[in-house]
């Protein structure tokens, strides 16, 4: 909990970890395509970004999300696969349908937008996504279940400028004897005979799945690569079948997608690269492959031991002239974590510690403690007894709430973070992305700054805000203005007890300023606005803070609102598109008004007559009666015009071209009741809330 805004405060929580973060942010879904003229690629032993600059991937695994691991779900290191835990959960909760609902809610909430925002705030620029093949293959045919989770993740990663590596963690027939491969034919002794990925048509099934995934994301630059199979461990004597199988999967991907990097892991739990080293004489003799088998190829190792055992692993890939990343490491102390991380930073192209969040284990960024109900389910699974079916609702609540990032039960582990912390990124505005205006810009998307820090925000839509703003600080952005003109500058600000100031500077010249109010809390945000003139073209926009003491979440530069002119209009609700209609085409005083489909009928047309500055009467064309705010309720109806304030309406333009209509009698806002959108929705007045149901389009009619 934040006590003070002083930068001298040595207490640093997650929200205060990053200063002067680079402005490489991907702007919006539409601007992404132009920002990414190309895709992440390779150049010798380096991974390079879309502009050909070296890109070091400071990533982390999203483990235990789409593939459960028994040791994480149960808090022990007993062998238990995803499927085994699912079946045990079915018994505990009373049915497989109940277990499936828990699984579904877990997957919806374990990785959410807040998790991605948190990882961005911590400095990570990539995530590795372990998934089970059965999300895309069931009963002998393809299915799309996994895309629900992938699509949401990619959207969030696009928003927070984080790259995605997709990892087939569990492959058909099981590519290793481990529980994390969901190998239900193995056990704690991990017999290699249980590995049947290289039997039957399993390799071809995996290839088909990869083609399916690649076809969906072939044009998605947020995805940087496809990690073909996790930690392969072929049966004794079959190690050299690994490389041809990787090529089979690669070939399937290349049928539809030539944009993305292919990532291949070594044999024996991802540690032995010799079996996929095409320059190795034995590999050549066993496979017939003596060439680089893809032009965009990255090799990957995993390591969970001492740092000394990692040294020299890069020799093979340096000889092959391709990049090497460490895709998993962890389950060790802070000193060893840090040593492996530093080795990776010096010798490799990226690193991905395991894992970002765990249940009941502390070698992670966040621990999710089990609550009492979850512990009761664990006790039944371990010891039997009466199935705790009455705990189903509590378990669903746990999956919906307790596993989400930011839950108050989570335990932060600074030591783990210290061991895997990314290096601070820096850049200048010279080569930074440019924001097209009008539009909204997240405050943390600056390309240059002084003094400010980032923190997680609890404001609407989450993400980050900039904070620790002192007098003299600033943030800077590259912008492109489509059309010269007067614009509305809106800023989303919060302050515990200090009024501040934002000075808007364009190319070094001050254009406008606005004061920031005291809102009563660092996360109690409000929107303030002023008017500013912007010429067309590319510019440098600096927000200078001559007086600090506030947080800034985002700012929006919108077209200046237009004043409504007298005339005849059809008035439609922004939320539904349905129009204000006199019920039953009545001419009687007191006839109700509601929303209905637009038939361009006389009872849907309104003469708008000015009676003051932005104040109007709205007169029904068919009855010649005024729109009237009933003095005895919040309802709105029609009544003979007699010039009272409850028949006069202040109509103010909004930046999006719509209008807000408020009663001169009460100040309340005209709205679609309860935000409903159906035909017959009542029209009334209510306190302002900024919702679309309180905004109206005025469409002129002859």
Mean pLDDT to the nearest integer, 318-324: 98
pLDDT above 90 (res 507) = no
In a 13 Å sphere around the CA of 35, the CA atoms on its Cβ side amount to: 23
Q: Which two tokens stand for residue 303?
A: 């390591």
Query: Higher-confidence residue: 471 or 276?
Result: 276
Residues 6+ apart with CB under 8 A from 238: 198
Residues 6+ apart with CB under 8 A from 696: 571, 572, 573, 574, 658, 659, 660, 661, 670
Q: Rounded CA gap, 606 and 594, in Å?
A: 14
The dihedral built from the CA positions of residue 552, 553, 554 and 555, taken in this order, carries a sign that is: negative
pLDDT for 37 equals 39
The answer to whether residues 494 and 551 touch, using CB atoms and an 8 Å cutoff, is: yes
The band of 264, judged by pLDDT with boundaries at 50, 70 and 90, is: very high
Query: Higher-confidence residue: 12 or 521?
Result: 521
Strand partners, 582: 593
Listing DSSP states for 604-659 in one string gives G-EEEEEEETTEEEEEETTT-PEEEE-TTSSBEEEE-----GGG-EEEEE-TTS-E
Mean pLDDT to the nearest integer, 257-272: 96
pLDDT above 50 (res 326) = yes
Q: Rounded CA gap, 606 and 434, in Å?
A: 43
Q: Rounded CA gap, 296 and 470, in Å?
A: 46
- The residue among 287, 285, 293, 351 whose CA lies nearest residue 322 is 293
- Type and span of the H or E element at 693: none
Look at the pTM and tell me if it is higher than 0.85: no
Mean pLDDT to the nearest integer, 606-632: 94
Distances (CA, A) of 573 to 280, 315, 584, 633: 70, 66, 19, 21
Peptide bond into 438 cis (omega under 30): yes
pLDDT above 50 (res 7) = no
How long is the chain?
702
pLDDT for 563 equals 83
- At 664-677, the pLDDT tens digits run 999 999 999 988 88
Peptide bond into 11 cis (omega under 30): no
pLDDT above 80 (res 173) = yes
Q: Rounded CA gap, 104 and 471, in Å?
A: 48
The answer to whether residues 597 and 679 touch, using CB atoms and an 8 Å cutoff, is: yes
Which residue do the tokens 């997650």 mark?
Answer: 14
Radius of gyration (C-alpha) of the chain in whole angstroms: 30
Q: What is the percentage of the chain residues whose pLDDT exceeds 90?
A: 75
DSSP 400: I
Distances (CA, A) of 424 to 56, 234, 401, 487: 12, 40, 32, 35
Which residue do the tokens 């072929």 mark?
Answer: 234
- At 588-615, the pLDDT tens digits run 999 999 999 998 999 999 999 999 988 9
**To the nearest whole number, what is the mean pLDDT of the chain?**
90
pLDDT above 80 (res 15) = no
- At 643-656, the pLDDT tens digits run 999 999 999 888 77
pLDDT for 531 equals 86
- The residue among 90, 171, 98, 96 whose CA lies nearest residue 137 is 171
DSSP 66: B
Q: Is 689 exposed, middle or buried (0-12, 13-18, 19+ CB in 10 A)?
A: exposed
The side-by-side arrangement of strands in the sheet containing 357-359 is 357-359, 366-368, 411-412
């Amino acid at each position: 909990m934040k006590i003070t805004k002083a930068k001298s405060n040595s207490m640093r929580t997650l929200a205060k970890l990053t200063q002067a973060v680079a402005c490489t942010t991907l702007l919006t879904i539409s601007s992404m395509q132009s920002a990414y003229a190309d895709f992440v690629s390779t150049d010798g032993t380096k991974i390079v970004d879309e502009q050909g600059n070296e890109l070091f991937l400071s990533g982390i695994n999203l483990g235990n999300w789409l593939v459960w691991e028994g040791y994480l779900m149960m808090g022990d290191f007993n062998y238990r696969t995803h499927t085994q835990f699912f079946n045990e959960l079915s018994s505990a909760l009373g049915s497989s349908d109940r277990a499936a609902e828990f699984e579904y809610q877990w997957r919806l909430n374990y990785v959410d937008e807040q998790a991605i925002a948190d990882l961005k705030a911590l400095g990570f620029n990539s995530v590795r996504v372990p998934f089970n093949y059965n999300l895309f293959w069931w009963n002998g045919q393809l299915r799309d279940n996994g895309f629900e989770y992938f699509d949401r993740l990619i959207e969030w990663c696009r928003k927070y400028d984080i790259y995605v590596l997709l990892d087939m963690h569990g492959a058909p027939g099981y590519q290793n004897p481990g529980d994390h491969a969901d190998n239900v034919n193995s056990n704690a002794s991990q017999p290699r005979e249980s590995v049947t990925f290289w039997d039957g048509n399993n390799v071809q099934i995996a290839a088909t799945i990869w083609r399916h995934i690649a076809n969906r994301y072939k044009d998605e630059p947020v995805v940087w690569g496809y990690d073909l199979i996790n930690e392969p461990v072929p049966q004794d004597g079959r190690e050299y079948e690994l490389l041809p199988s990787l090529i089979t999967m690669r070939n399937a991907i290349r049928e539809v997608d030539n944009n993305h990097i292919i990532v291949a892991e070594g044999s024996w739990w991802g540690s032995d690269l010799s079996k996929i080293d095409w320059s190795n004489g034995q590999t050549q003799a066993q496979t017939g492959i003596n060439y680089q088998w893809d032009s965009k190829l990255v090799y990957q190792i995993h390591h969970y031991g001492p740092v000394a055992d990692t040294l020299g692993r890069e020799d093979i890939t340096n000889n092959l002239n391709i990049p090497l990343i460490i895709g998993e490491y962890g389950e060790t102390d802070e000193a060893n974590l840090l040593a492996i991380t530093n080795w990776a930073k010096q010798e490799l192209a990226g690193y991905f510690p395991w894992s970002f969040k765990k249940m009941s284990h502390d070698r992670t960024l966040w621990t999710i403690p089990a609550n009492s109900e979850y512990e009761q389910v664990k006790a039944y699974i371990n010891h039997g007894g009466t199935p705790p079916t009455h705990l189903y609702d509590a378990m669903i609540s746990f999956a919906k709430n307790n596993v989400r990032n930011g839950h108050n039960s989570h335990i932060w582990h600074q030591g783990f973070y210290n061991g895997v912390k990314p290096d601070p990124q820096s850049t200048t505005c010279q080569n930074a992305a440019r924001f097209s205006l009008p539009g909204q810009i997240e405050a943390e998307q600056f390309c240059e700054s002084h003094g400010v820090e980032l923190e997680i925000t609890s404001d609407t839509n989450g993400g980050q805000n900039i904070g620790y703003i002192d007098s003299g600080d600033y943030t800077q952005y590259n912008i492109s203005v489509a059309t010269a003109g007067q614009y509305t500058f809106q800023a989303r600000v919060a302050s515990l007890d200090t009024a501040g100031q934002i000075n808007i500077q364009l190319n070094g010249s001050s254009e406008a300023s606005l004061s920031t109010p005291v809102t009563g809390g660092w996360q109690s945000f409000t929107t303030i606005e002023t008017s500013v003139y912007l010429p067309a073209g590319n510019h440098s926009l600096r927000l200078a803070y001559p007086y600090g003491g506030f947080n800034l979440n985002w700012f929006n530069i919108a077209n200046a609102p237009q004043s409504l002119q007298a005339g005849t209009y059809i008035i439609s609700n922004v939320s539904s598109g349905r129009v204000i209609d006199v019920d039953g085409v009545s001419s009687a005083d007191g006839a109700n008004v509601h929303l209905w489909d637009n038939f361009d009928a006389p009872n849907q047309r309104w003469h708008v007559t000015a009676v003051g500055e932005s104040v109007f009467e709205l007169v029904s064309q068919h009855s010649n009666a005024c729109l009237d705010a009933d003095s005895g309720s919040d309802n709105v109806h029609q009544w003979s015009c007699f010039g009272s304030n409850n028949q006069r309406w202040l109509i103010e333009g909004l930046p999006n071209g719509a209008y807000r209509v408020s009663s001169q009698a009460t100040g309340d806002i005209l709205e679609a009741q309860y935000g409903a959108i159906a035909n017959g929705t009542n029209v009334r007045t209510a306190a302002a809330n900024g919702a679309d149901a309180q905004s109206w389009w005025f469409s002129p009619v002859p």
